[in-house]
Amino acid sequence: MRIASMGHYVPERVVSLEETLDLFRHYSKPYHDGPALDRLLQEVGVYLDKTEFRQATVRASGEPWLANYLDMTRELIRASGVPLGEIDKVIYVGVGRGYREPATACALASYLGIRHAECFDILDACAGWSRAARLIAPHLAHGGCRHVLVLSAEFSRAPSLGLAAEREGGENAYRMRSLDELRWGVWTSTVGEAGTTTLFSAEPGAAPWFFEFYFDSDFHKYCGYTLANHRDFDFSRNLLEDEIGGAERFYAFASEIGQSIGQYFTEALRKPEIRPFVDESVIIVPHSVSIPPYRKLFRKLGVDQKVRYSFAEHGNTVSCGVPLALSKSVAAGEVKRGDRVLLTPSGSGASYGVVSFRY
């Protein structure tokens, strides 16, 4: 299996750290008097500084993001030389979506003119792209298919969800009613938007990809995006039942997730079967959730200069984080054919992976 082609679409608007703090001020002011508001904003700054958040890319008002994303994908397919009829599977891996069913992959394939490919979605929070690669590798290696298109369009900062980076429509992203709410609610402001497209193709005789995944399902409670009916599926009480009730809401407990990231990857990347990939890799791409846990780890391993942190420029782009950084590195000429790449994806604190391959 090889990556035949990959591309990315990044929206136009950049929300700086300064604007982010101003949005917190705007939405939180009704709940705090002057000194209390100042303290809240100071704490917000501390939280964001801990992740090294500097800015996020989001859609501008009226930006035709879906049309732009599809145009990028059409051009990528055209330039690859692969006929639409030879794309055997279309897989969508994004958390962002507009319908429960049918598969988002089915709708996007239709828009792209791919009518008879097998279409389905894979959902593993921010690790969706890497999980898709693992699942399709045997199909491409053993003749089950020729080409697989993996799509992700993480555009969830909609006013309808209260997540817009605007003065109207951003109440769920920037409204903090108490200092306690910061622990799990401040991280929505670091979410950015982007779209990525990857065309995987069979390559007889190619070196196999390396995959190792670790799971701890109990950690699902520390990061989530609830739906309005989530209570029907909460066999045990949600940690934030008193705060979010039955609403749709993104939340994350960064401290717990950061600790788990450090613990797993510290052990995994020192394994005899993995450490050679660390040393040989031209670039290393972690998940885009936060920089410090990974920087501490990769500095200890002496390879921090290889790491590409898309979080610094785009924020947490969810399932696009890993392929976005890889796509940009390929476009910049940092990765060439035959170079080894190492990926360290994670999803909601419940899944972690090490993926290595020759581009």
**Domain-located, residue 50:** no
Task: Return the SS3 of 62.
Answer: coil
Q: Give the total number of structural domains in the chain.
A: 1
What is the C-alpha to C-alpha distance for residues 261 and 325, in angstroms, rounded to an integer?
A: 19
CA-closest candidate to residue 281, choices 295, 302, 252: 302
**Domain-located, residue 180:** no
How far lies 241's CA from each of 9, 172, 174, 246, in Å?
A: 36, 15, 19, 8
**Domain-located, residue 44:** no
Structure tokens at 212: 């190792």
CATH number, domain of 277, equals 3.40.47.10
* Model pLDDT, residue 271: 96
Using 50, 70 and 90 to split pLDDT, how confident is the model at 40? very high
**Domain-located, residue 339:** yes
Q: Give me the domain span that covers residue 311.
A: 210-358
**Domain-located, residue 164:** no
Cβ 1 vs Cβ 202: under 8 Å: yes
The yes-or-no verdict on residue 202 having pLDDT over 90 is yes
What is the C-alpha to C-alpha distance for residues 310 and 4, in angstroms, rounded to an integer?
A: 22
**Domain-located, residue 63:** no
**Domain-located, residue 84:** no
CA-closest candidate to residue 297, choices 256, 262, 259, 255: 262
Mean residue pLDDT of the chain comes to: 95
Each residue's pLDDT tens digit, 256-314: 888 888 889 999 999 999 999 999 999 999 998 889 989 999 999 999 999 999 999 99
Vertex 287, ends 282 and 292: CA angle to 5°?
A: 90
**Domain-located, residue 314:** yes
H-only helix segments in 29-147: 34-51, 65-80, 104-112, 128-141
Each residue's pLDDT tens digit, 111-157: 999 999 999 999 999 999 999 999 999 999 998 899 999 999 999 99
* Model pLDDT, residue 59: 95
The yes-or-no verdict on residue 353 having pLDDT over 90 is yes
